[in-house]
Structure 1
Amino acid sequence: MIITTMGPLTGVKVIEIAHWLVAPYCANMLSDLGAEVIKIEPLSGDQVRSSGSYFKNGESYLFAAYNHGKQSISLNLKDPDGLGIARDLCRGADVVLENYRPGTCERLGLGYESLRRLNPGLVYCSISAFGDTPGYAHRPGMDPIVQGMGGAMSVTGEPGGKPVLVGIPVADNSTAYIAFGAICGALLERERTGKGQRIQLNLIDTMVFNLSTRFGQYIASGKPPSAMGSQHAEVVPYQAFPTANGWLMAGAQSDRAWAVFCEAIGRPELASHPDYETNRLRVKNRETLSGLLNGVFAQKPTEDWCAIFAERNVLHGPIWNVEELVNSDLIREHGLIEKVDHAVFGKLPVIRTPIAYSESEVKIQGPPPLLGEHTLDILRKLGRSEDEISDLIARKVVYAKPGQAGDYAVQVPGSDTA
């Protein structure tokens, strides 16, 4: 079967008015599925361009991690001409994606009610930290704050220990995934009705949605669940075990699997032990069983245990760090990490959206953009004349990346923010 080189969202135009992670991460996925994504940045750029500690010649590796395949136009949205350009872009868009604090885009003239009058078919997705709730709406909120408020830190870490931040931005990432699905759903509904609509999401609601089994525990017991370290809250054994040279994650997801597990570790008598015969008993006696199993696993290196468990189809996996993961034969085979040509970073590895279609292609459309890299091309496509463009640059209404502006006197970025 021949897979078309077009993505399922080819022909969809997305305007991203956002910074940091959640909305740009969602737009990154839309781009990989074929959408044309134009990122509107202030003259100083997306805030993450100047954040963190990993840079090369002024370019941020953090920004590059989730902004590939986009075009960048740099505008002063507080200037009427800059705002006019942004509104022109939204007039011809299918999707607008923004994650500023509630009310910010409305004040700028880029809110949903204003834009829908220009473009009735527009799908407009707003993402905030806490929604529109009085007392919370205008509070600054980012992933670590929402992890703390959203219950994740209370159930992460060792039992009785201090609250621990999850090592990846789960509030941002999870909300980006939901936004991705919500936008695709709204585009599908527009095909049926011809009408656009507004989507509203917030990080704290996503964290409630993420509670999953922890919510079930709370409802059943009436008590807030606590941190369990690497152990599963409801299945024993299902945890990280120290081996002779590292760590192994392994478990028995049923009583039948427990019997196979015991055979594999050379302790078949544990399967019928009166304290461990059923999962309910193992949960009750997890502390003594865990200590016993730790002693068993410490006798062999991780790779030996993996070979033993693989032969018997026991639930297991080595605990990899990021380097081990991305360089594993598993991930190389999946082809998720591709290299793109970047003007500063050279051959830059980036992560493709992990979706595979039978009939269409998901692919990285290009490198992360430099600030204002596509300003001139976008303005020309909007019908702005060369004299108009030169004037906009001179008045610092727009910023165009040096080297892309021909004979224009390109201005360095200012300090305005949306």
Structure 2
Amino acid sequence: MVTTDRSNPSGAQSTQTTPLAGLQVIELSSFVAAPLGGMTLAQLGAEVIRIDPIGGGPDQHRWPITNDGASLYWAGLNKGKRSVTVDLRAEPGRDLVRQLVGSCAPGTAVVVTNSAGQDWLSYDELRRYQADLIHVQVHGHSDGTPAVDYTVNAEMGFPLVTGPANHADPVNHVLPAWDIACGLYVATGVAAATRHRELTGEGCKLTIALSDVALAMAGNLGMLAEAEVTKVQRPRIGNYLYGSFARDFSSVDGRRFMVVALTRRHWRDLLTVTETQVAVSALEDALGVDFSREDDRYEYREALAGLFDRWFSRCTSAEVEAALSATALLWAPYRTFTDVVAHLGTSAGKNPIVEQIDQPGIGSYLSPGSPLVQDGRPVRARPAPLLGTDTYPVLTERLGLQREELSRLRSAGVLPEQ
């Protein structure tokens, strides 16, 4: 099957059949979750048209940025999409969005948005233009009140179990985990709803709240049940692993490594590589415990780590890497983002989902495609569009607007200057 990728500005064809080829997504979004959902759908083959206000929304200049002020954040979360800008405060601009939804072929229309309090973007309103519409609304909280990842994380308890033991203040994680999970739920929900529409001919309304994603995972991982059933207030334990054994260790030349021993084989290999079998056996006898059990290893983690520390502190980082590579242990060196970029440029670090792309407005740099690899073929990264660059082509292709009408809308301030 040959599919035409309309989200590819070159219009090139691909002989690779993508799972969501033919799906047409209209995205009105900001922050992380909804844009990530849209980009994931684009990587799965959907045509995604991102619509922003003229001049851009809140993400247009969000950090990180280049020295010239171009947003690397925008470029990273909008790969493979098309960009349309209209005056979303004016009724003619809103009507263009409605018409774009209505222009989708039957059985293909999807709207993804996290815009709050916009009745004209609601499922009930837009389904008037596309009866079998799949509509995804991302909220902060399930009652519609706003929230972002960092506030959700705070109210869900995670910052109070993150960080070094006995640290008094909350420690927020720099990774927006709930945004990421929410964005992937968006894509999963659309894929499931698409299957439902194929079978029944019916669209559907999907809603997802960022706080519910965090709540669900806190429950799925047993954290809420632990607090309720066992009455245990989980402690801060730094870089140890709760309920098992893992910790960071430093080599003699100052490199740090994270080492994880989850299974009995891991544990045996850790004792062998650190030459601590005799010492650990003596500690077991003295304490009357069995360190092949995860809970015993966790309870006496600090004493055990002290034994392993001696080996790491005598070895260079090269010696540590060579020794750990010969075991079944789970381990990794700590790297900065700069280290990661350098590692990707080596033969050992080369990754097939990452390649150089030429990003308009920024230049050439390494960028990942989709982590989902289809039939052994990575989905290649495609640049993000410049803001509004597809406005006139999309309105011409999708709505059939002619030069005179486009000129009139531009003069009225509904469309941007070309």
Report the TM-score when normalising by structure 1: 0.87
Report if the CA contact (8 A) 1:255-1:277 is conserved: no
- The 5 Å alignment of 1:5-404 reads 5-52=16-63, 54-93=65-104, 94-101=109-116, 104-106=117-119, 109-132=120-143, 137-138=144-145, 140-161=146-167, 162-211=169-218, 212-215=221-224, 217-236=226-245, 238-244=246-252, 245-272=254-281, 273-274=283-284, 275=287, 277-278=290-291, 279-328=294-343, 329=346, 332-358=349-375, 362-364=379-381, 366-381=382-397, 382-400=399-417
The CA distance in 1 between the partners of 2:129 and 2:185, in whole Å, is 27
Opposite residue 194 of structure 2, the aligned amino acid is L
Shift of 1:57: 4.0
193-202 vs 298-307, which moves further: 298-307
CA 330–359 in structure 1, closer or farther in 2 if over 3 Å, else same: closer
Q: 1:268 to 1:53 in 2, by over 3 A?
A: closer
Superimposed CA distance per residue, residues 188-247 of structure 1 (whole angstroms, 9 cap, x where no aligned partner): 1111111111111111111122321434533452223232211100002x1111222211
Query: 3-state DSSP class of the match of 2:380?
Result: coil
Alpha carbons of 1:359 and 1:323: their partners in 2 closer, same or farther (altered >3 Å)? closer
Cα displacement (A) at 1:124: 0.7
Q: Deviation string for 1:312-332 (max 9, x for gaps)?
A: 222222122222234435885
One-letter amino acid of the counterpart of residue 26, structure 1:
G
Quote the Cα distance in structure 1 between the aligned partners of 2:90 and 2:156. 38
- For 1:73-111, what per-residue CA distance to the aligned partner results, in whole angstroms no more than 9, with x for missing partners? 11112212111100011123421000122xx231xx121
C-alpha spacing 1:59/1:281, structure 2 compared with 1 (3 Å): closer
Equivalent residues of 1:231, 1:239 under 8 A apart: yes
Segments of structure 2 that go 5 or more residues without pairing to the other structure are 3-13
Shift of 1:156: 1.4
CA distance in 2, matches of 1:330, 1:146: 40
* CA–CA separation in structure 1 for the residues paired with 2:91 and 2:348: 48
Determine if contact 2:353/2:378 at 8 Å carries over to the other structure. no
Q: Quick one: which amino acid aligns to residue 290 of structure 2?
A: E
Structure 2: how far apart are the matches of 1:281 and 1:153? Answer: 26
Does structure 2 conserve the Cα–Cα contact (< 8 Å) formed by 1:14 and 1:96? yes
- Relative distance call for 1:374 and 1:221 in structure 2 (3 A) is same
1:264/1:184 CA distance change after superposition, 3 Å: same
Cα contact 2:352–2:378 (8 A) shared by 1? no
Q: Using the alignment, how far apart are the partners of 2:238 and 2:24 within structure 1?
A: 44
Which residue is equivalent to 2:8? none
- Return the alpha-carbon distance in structure 2 between the equivalents of residues 330 and 152 of structure 1: 38
State whether residues 141 and 209 of structure 2, in contact with CA within 8 Å, keep that contact through their aligned partners in structure 1: yes
CA distance in 1, matches of 2:176, 2:347: 23
SS at match of 1:59: coil
The alignment covers a number of residue pairs equal to 389
* Higher RCO (CA-CA < 8 Å; seq separation 6+): 1
What letter corresponds to residue 305 of structure 1 in structure 2?
Answer: V
Amino acid at match of 1:241: F
How much is the aligned-residue C-alpha RMSD, in angstroms?
2.2
Give, as a single letter, the amino acid of the residue that structure 1 aligns with 2:406: I
Contact 1:258 1:271 in 2 (8 A): no
1:39-68 CA-to-partner distances (Å, cap 9, x unmatched) read: 010113121112336235442122111111
The alignment-based identity, stated in percent, is 24
